[in-house]
Chains A and B, each alone.
Chain A
Amino acid sequence: MKVRLKVWRQKNSGSAGSFHIYETPDLNPNMSFLEMLDVINEQLAERGQEPIAFDHDCREGICGTCSLVIDGKPHGPHPGVATCQTYMRSFKDGDEIVVEPFRAKAFPLIKDLVVSRKAFDTILQAGGFITVRAGSPPDANAILVAKADSDLAMDAAQCIGCGACVAACRNASAMLFVSAKVSHLGLLPQGQPERYTRVQNMVEAMDAAGFGNCSVTGACEAVCPKSISIDFIARMNRDYAVALLKGDSKKPAGGGAG
């Protein structure tokens, strides 16, 4: 099979970008989409043209590095898989395929199809953790967790942090990403002490990073390569409301125990 690619090329965030057309050589339908881009890039390099920059690493759908909006859909045509797990057999011989970067204000472009998703790290640094020092925890089985809670926490914890939810959202909202982390930790007994400060800090960091608000279109869930449910957004909204009602936790008074 052969396809025609319409790819967004942009030297850096400071310069203007445009679409370029590339014709592929004959492809094996069992090739992955990224392997197809590898083939194009080898061809470009042999012709003395600069290869297309795109992000990728594990190529098995777990690291969250790959991105791409393929024919208008983040991570391509299939629900529940990342771009790196998309195969050419999903397209037809002669198709024209449009390839663009994830576009969002909070994800500035680096080059061609590569954007910076650093804002996600900033949100995690604001509260995406349970405070625990190595050496201090109790025996693992001293903390009982109901299987249903643990399974639900795992459903949320699967998030690979790729940013497709943001790219799909008309408001470029990061609510699905943030709610997955908040729910994962908030569902577990270990996460209770910091539950409300966590949600407040993470939501504040999310807003500060320039992500939009959620208007519950569900586009994020539809493109999520791990099929993370928007129910977690509802869960986060509830925790956030409770956090606001509780108000700021008291700052400790000065002075020590001497």
Chain B
Amino acid sequence: MATLKSNIPSGQLAQKWTKHRFESKLVNPANKRKYKVIVVGAGLAGASASATLADLGYQVDNFVFHDSPRRAHSIAAQGGINAAKNYQNDGDSVHRLFYDTIKGGDFRAREANVHRLAEVSVQIIDQCVAQGVPFAREYGGLLDNRSFGGAQVSRTFYARGQTGQQLLLGACSALSRQVGLGGVKSHTHAEMLDLVVVDGHAKGMIVRNLQTGEITRHGADAVVLATGGYGNVFNLSTYARGSNATAIWRAYRRGACLANPCYTQIHPTCIPVSGDYQSKLTLMSESLRNDGRIWVSKKQADRRLPHEIPEEERDYYLERMYRAFGNLAPRDIASRAAKQVCDEGRGVGETGLGVYLDFSESIRRLGEDKVRERYGNLFAIYHEITDEDAYKTPMRIYPAVHYTMGGLWVDYNLMSNIPGLFVLGEANFSDHGANRLGASALMQGLADGYFVLPATLSNYLATQKPENRVTIEHAAFREADSIVRQSLQRMLETKGKRTPASFHKELGKILWDHCGMARNKAGLEKAIQKTAALREEYSKNINVMGDGGEWNQALEQAGRVADFIELGELMCRDALHREESCGGHFREEFQYTASDPETQQGLVNPGDVRRDDERFAYVAAWEYAGKGRAPTLNKEPLAYEEVHMTTRSYK
């Protein structure tokens, strides 16, 4: 069994972070330059961490599989970033952002981490503005805000519909500066294929150069993974095609625990699937719910065009079901409600899997120009994909896989259970519980990279002596190196009949059907069998063209898909064991019914998720037990000091 010590500092919740920083060990400036730190990934978390650690004086090596650090998928985030600035004077505060996030996560996140996130949020905005991030402004020159789901204040900062792009370019500009100064060595087209663990500590990794196929070993005093989420396990998602789980999965196989893998976020507003050739789904930002109203017809199988359906025959179901939050209900709730009305036969579009997101009222109220100024690029994306004009006719939207709250287990210092291995951003599990609120992913990525890791890393490094760092000739490096080479060789030599893409598609369908928006025992058991069978077939029937010593996209994909198949099975195991519903994890067996007291008191609707705090108020951290053996479940109890776990109500 792994030892999970959360290392949450003692004392008052609001003082923990300040106290912890003071009590943390430091490394003096002259010694900092002796330490080597590997950072994998250059999204918001990886780029900001690399730049900040180099600013502090550490020698940083940054690795990305992309051709440039600026391609990471943080770039595609549209809507915005939350911060408790209270610039709108609408009652926001650090405590409110903290509470909204804890509640939004359905009381399954770690309290102290979330409070720290809310505290640090205000500094992130300062940092980004100073870097030249062109956030939207008012005519007086001050910063503008908009609202996002799960909040009743306007605390979201944005740069048109391209906030992620602008924040990433900001973080990458800081990274570029450090590359120019020699503080960071940037390795591009470099994919991490194994973690090297020496005497129980993470001390390096094995990398494949995607251009030449060369396998290299890299040693360091600490390894930081900022490699994003694993939503592409579903094949179809809003993730970039290249987003993958290989780095975290290989770390898992080296002993790092993977926490709450079943917590996945299905985003309510995406462009619906149109055909089976489709390679990816496109998000329509949650910010659209500020001004768009979601509805379907009150009648089943209503084939009329949207403008032919009179107002009184429309069901604005979110406004009806969740009066207090309406169209800005949190994502898990909005997605389930969309599924529910479609399951009732009231969905729209060719497939019946869609609902309307309608701007006609806002266009009447604000004028088309104002709507264009706020969301022009999103309307343009919608038009490119669907060939429809959303200024004239409502958008059709449907939920799609968007984010994973689960990830590698980390303590308060963001260190995994393998000492020396740190995990940041979406790759870790720590801040969003069972559901993430909109505009909080960007906040967490930058909080981890600019402020948290730079303060906590020295706690570990101060216990390590750089002069004792092992060389890459150490047995642990040689062993990992040979495992990587063998596994690549095996994939190339199997010469079966099926492509990596066909396995990925099949896996995606299994998971979407049984471990997607609604889950149940029988379905999950079936999915576990099916993924295990798929893994078996993969090992015998994979076909990878070309060879390993050159640019080979099929080989890259084959490795990632193999990891996804194993991860998919673990997700289903986690979903099966968690006999409750919470946030994005909806087990059909555990939901509120009309006769429950909470329903009758008007706190929830029948069909809302029903937690079981007595049995499941813990983090499920799964530990690899070896090939072909069931993983071990470790539990970190969620002890709340300040907040009471209550019924999560948005009515």
Inter-chain CA distance A62–B280, complex, in Å, is 14
The answer to the question of A129 belonging to the interface, with a C-beta cut-off of 8 Å to chain B, is yes
Chain A, Cβ-Cβ closest to B274? A30
Bound-complex Cα distance A136 to B159 (A): 23
Q: Which one of B507-515, B543-551, B594-602, B626-634 is at the A interface? A: B543-551
Question: How far is it, in angstroms, between the C-alpha of A113 and the C-alpha of B385 when the chains are bound?
Answer: 24
On whether the beta carbons of B66 and A190 are closer than 8 Å, the reply is no
Q: At the interface, yes or no: B583 with Cβ under 8 Å from chain A?
A: no
A111 & B186 in contact (Cβ 8 Å cutoff) = no
Interface: A95 (CB within 8 A): no
User: B22 an interface residue at 8 Å Cβ cutoff?
Assistant: no
**Total residue contacts A-B, CB cutoff 8 A:** 208
Among residues 29 to 46 in chain A, which have CB atoms less than 8 Å away from a CB atom of chain B? 30-32, 34-35, 38-39, 42, 44-46
**Cβ of A34 and Cβ of B279 under 8 Å apart?**
yes
| B381 close to chain A: CB less than 8 A | yes
Tell me which residues across on chain B come within 8 A of A49, comparing CB atoms: 545
Q: Are A137 and B126 in contact (CB-based, < 8 A)? A: yes
Stretch at the interface among A97-105, A146-154, A209-217: A146-154
Question: B633 to nearest A CB, angstroms?
Answer: 35
Complexed CA–CA distance, A151 and B499 (Å): 46
Once A81-B384, A128-B173, A144-B141 are accepted as A-B contacts, the answer to whether A154 and B127 lie under 8 Å apart by CB is no
A154/B165 contact (C-beta < 8 A), A141-B142, A147-B138 known: no
A57: CB under 8 A from chain B?
A: yes
- CB contacts (< 8 Å) of A141 on chain B: these are 85, 87, 142-143
B554: chain A residues at CB < 8 Å are 45, 51
- Tell whether A72 is near chain B: CB-to-CB under 8 Å: no
- Asked if B242 CB lies within 8 Å of chain A CBs, one says yes
Residue-wise, chain A 109-135 has the 8 Å CB interface mask toward B (1 for contact) of: 011001011101100111111111111
Binds A, one of B67-75, B216-224, B322-330, B459-467: B67-75
Q: What is the number of residues of chain B that contact chain A, defined by CB distance less than 8 Å?
A: 79
Asked if A161 and B545 make an inter-chain contact with CB atoms under 8 angstroms apart, the answer reads: no
Interface centre among A11, A120, A130 (most CB of B within 10 A): A130
Contact B68 A161 (CB under 8 A): yes
Residue from the list A11, A50, A80, A188 in contact with B132, Cβ < 8 A: A188
Once A116-B67, A145-B137 are accepted as A-B contacts, the answer to whether A38 and B277 lie under 8 Å apart by CB is yes
User: How distant is the Cα of A160 from the Cα of B70 in the complex, in angstroms?
Assistant: 9
Q: Tally A residues with Cβ within 8 Å of B.
A: 79
Q: Which of B71, B166, B180, B241 contacts A125 (CB 8 A)?
A: B180
Assess the A144–B140 pair: CB atoms within 8 A: yes
By a CB distance below 8 angstroms, the chain B residues around A55 are: 67
- Residue B84 at the chain A interface, CB threshold 8 Å: no
Could you list 6 further interchain pairs (A-B, Cβ under 8 angstroms) beyond the known A118-B68, A140-B128? Answer: A48-B545, A60-B280, A63-B71, A85-B384, A157-B134, A188-B134
Contacts A/B (CB < 8 Å), 16 sampled:
A57-B71, A57-B240, A58-B73, A58-B240, A87-B384, A87-B385, A110-B551, A121-B69, A124-B172, A134-B48, A137-B130, A140-B85, A140-B135, A144-B142, A147-B139, A158-B165
B interface residues with partner A (beta carbon < 8 Å): 48, 51-52, 55, 66-71, 73, 75-76, 85, 87, 123, 125-132, 134-143, 159-160, 162, 165-166, 169, 172-174, 176-177, 179-180, 186, 188, 211, 240-242, 274-275, 277-280, 282-283, 380-381, 384-385, 387, 450-451, 454, 499, 501-502, 543, 545-546, 550-551, 553-554
